[in-house]
Chain A
Amino acid sequence: MNLVHADPKTVLTGAHFMDGNHAACEGAIAAGANFAAGYPITPSTEIVERFAARAPLVGATFLQMEDELASSIAILGAAWGGAKSFTVTSGPGFSLMMEHIGFAAMTETPSVFVDVQRGGPSTGLPTLPAQADMMQARWGSHGDYEIIALSPSSPQECFDVMIDAFNFAERYRNPVFVMMDESVGHMTEKVVIPSADRVLLVPRRYTCLPPSEYLPFKPSPDGIPEMARMGQGYHFHVTGLTHDASGYPAINAQTQQELLSRLVGKIRNDADKIARAEERQIEDARIVLVAYGITARVALRAVQLAREERIPAGLLRPIVVWPFPEKRIRELAGQAKAFIVVEMNQGQIVHEVERGVAGRARTVLVPHAGGAVHRPEAILEVIREVAQWA
């Protein structure tokens, strides 16, 4: 895959102190995002506020739409128009976007959705964190489809994963999610933005075929079709209906089977290539903590406290949460006696861990209803208990 450098005009190279929301915005701009649409919602709004200010300085467009239904499809129209586009929201807005996530998956539209998670359900805790939209990101739209979701645990990583998100979106022609949370969004830390020549970007996959030979949804050897530029005489058609390689509707079971297995397969078959995780003290760990986003930082503290007590605990922090790193869990289930899943919800990713472990070790959930992060001591308590029998 040919990569290109970021545009130096857009990259704010240097060391900054900024919060995760601002860093995510700069990550998007460095990734070449030149279109964003959004509707204000706490705790995500700073991302679009910053983008609104930066857009006219970097050749980009921002439009505040009338609602999230509009912003989530305006970015898809912009993507087909040639832009790299994204939208930003939190729980209630994320719920409104669901139909267009399915539309993006079905039409293979490169797009990035940022959800700065807050406590729910409903209006919940507008100003306080949660991680309770993880399954919604995976399953929220109707029908079968696959997505990629990243979960940053620091402002620096908010910047970094935005670049990954845009690259995955282009590489797989798929909606990609950045699942932040209020804590990471509003925490200020040092963020180092590299020079433009160190930001490598996946360019859009445009066809070189002439219009007479081009089929808009004919997969390349890797299962992903090439796009055509608009306005160049390709006269292509895009529909959310089940369609064949020509792009036209084909309402029958066989086309559905072929399309669905390709849409799902292009992500599932590449899960290992997409996977990204951080492991801490995992080599000799008999107790593996699994945590992502802000919660992973608290869990790491608990691991350190446990190690001080000579309890062999370690941490697996998926940065790519979807597709879930099931294979790595399976491997670790050979060495670990127990998995402790720490998440700011009532149990979501824990089910994935249980599936990977498949009964070969115990899996324990340390839930939190949201509104505040876990206390490391509370996690340590659970580690101690588990250490009694692990």
Chain B
Amino acid sequence: MGMTTAVNPVEPLLRSERMPHLWCPGCGIGTTVNCFARALERSKLPLDKVAVVSGIGCTGRVAGYINLDSFHTTHGRAIPFATGLKLANPDLTVAVYSGDGDLISIGGNHFIHAARRNVDIKVICVNNFIYGMTGGQVAPTTPLGAVATTAPYGSFERPFNLPFLAESSGAVYVARWTAYHVQHIAHSMTEALRKKGFSFIEILAPCPTLYQRRNKLGDGLDTMRYYKERSVIKNGASTRDLDLDFQGEITVGKFVDVERPTLQETMDRLYRQRLEDRYFGWRQP
């Protein structure tokens, strides 16, 4: 968001009074936020009806910079908060914006269950392969062999393949991009915002301060170069084949875009069937 200028059309969507933001120079999170602001514009959604929910982490601070109703919740629990919010106020479009550690480690159980239920929320995960906010510890996304403060000799755990996890849990929309692919990110975010059901976008993004530095991978720009050189767009690829290796090839694209009734639709239909005119539908608060 350091790139934001007075003429930037996304400016009204950001909280200018909160600038400068707290992200490091070269951090990829701000880039994704710019894409999100553009997607909000393009989605043509009534913006007052869009809410952003974050967990805790560097990415978790996104909610505080987007000029919409926004919630900075607890570590790992953005998804169940968003689930309650969406069920209580079905008119809202609810986006969850958080980090890989937040959504997939401490929040992993909520992630798979919300996907299984097909809660109508849009989950944006900034995957920097690391716990940024707490100083660079190993995450369930850290590539095998990559160094982190709590994995000083390299991570010895197999990381999650997030698109595969999302699809097998039930997500109806799954995409992965890197912070280099700004046009694609904005396009996928627009699609997700307009799609009904649990939508998931993974964005690989540099954390130059911790991940890149500890692994001697240069700065944010070097990482962008890596993304550019080693990314291969394979829309519709099987999510099974999307494992990430340390500095290896990155498959990006939109992998899943299917229709499935949402939690609310299923609930509603069942109540209607079983209770007929005794069903007293949700009273909008």
A contact set with B: CB distance below 8 Å: 9, 34-35, 37, 56-61, 63, 65-67, 69-71, 73-83, 85, 99-100, 103, 230-241, 248-249
Contact = CB atoms under 8 A, between A and B. Distances in A.
Given A73-B73, A73-B81, 12 more contacts: A9-B280, A34-B88, A56-B280, A73-B84, A76-B84, A77-B85, A77-B86, A78-B88, A80-B85, A81-B88, A236-B69, A239-B63
A77 B48 contact: no
B74 A100 contact: yes
Contacts of A82: 88-89, 284-285
B82 interface: yes
Chain A CB count within 10 A is highest, among B53, B72, B109, for B72
B91 A231 contact: yes
A70 B69 contact: no
Task: Indicate the size class of the contact surface on chain B.
Answer: 35 or more
10 contacts: A63-B83, A65-B113, A69-B76, A74-B80, A76-B84, A77-B73, A77-B80, A77-B85, A231-B51, A234-B69
A63 B88 CA distance: 11
B72 A81 contact: no
Given A81-B84, A248-B64, A100 B89 contact: no
B44 interface: no
Contacts of A248: 18, 64
Contacts of A73: 73-74, 77, 80-81, 84
Interface stretch (B122-130, B202-210, B223-231, B271-279): B271-279
B281 interface: yes
Interface of B: 15, 18, 48-49, 51, 53, 63-64, 67-74, 76-77, 80-89, 91-92, 109-110, 113, 267, 271, 275, 278-285
Contacts of B92: 81, 230-231
Chain A CB count within 10 A is highest, among B15, B63, B71, B109, for B71
Contact of B69 (A67, A99, A230, A239): A230
Nearest to A84: B285
A241 B279 CA distance: 41
A167 B77 CA distance: 27
Nearest to B83: A74
A100 B84 contact: no
Contacts of B86: 77, 81
A66 B113 contact: yes
A232 B110 CA distance: 28
Contact of B81 (A63, A74, A233): A74
Given A73-B73, A231-B49, A248-B18, A81 B89 contact: yes
Contacts of B109: 66-67, 70
A66 B284 CA distance: 25
Contacts of B267: 61
A81 B113 contact: no
B88 to A, nearest CB: 3
Contacts of B53: 77
A241 to B, nearest CB: 7
A237 B271 CA distance: 35
Interface pairs A-B: 3 shortest CB-CB: A82-B285, A77-B84, A81-B88
B85 A81 contact: yes
Given A59-B283, A66-B113, A240-B74, A232 B87 contact: no
Contact of A35 (B68, B81, B87): B87
A63 B48 CA distance: 26
Contacts of A249: 64, 72
Nearest to B270: A56
Contact of A61 (B48, B82, B88): B88
Contact of A34 (B48, B51, B69, B283): B283
B214 to A, nearest CB: 26
Contacts of A74: 80-81, 83-84, 87
A67 to B, nearest CB: 7
B88 A77 contact: yes
A79 B70 CA distance: 14
A78 B280 contact: no
Nearest to B272: A56
A61 B70 contact: no
Contact of A99 (B15, B74, B81, B110): B74
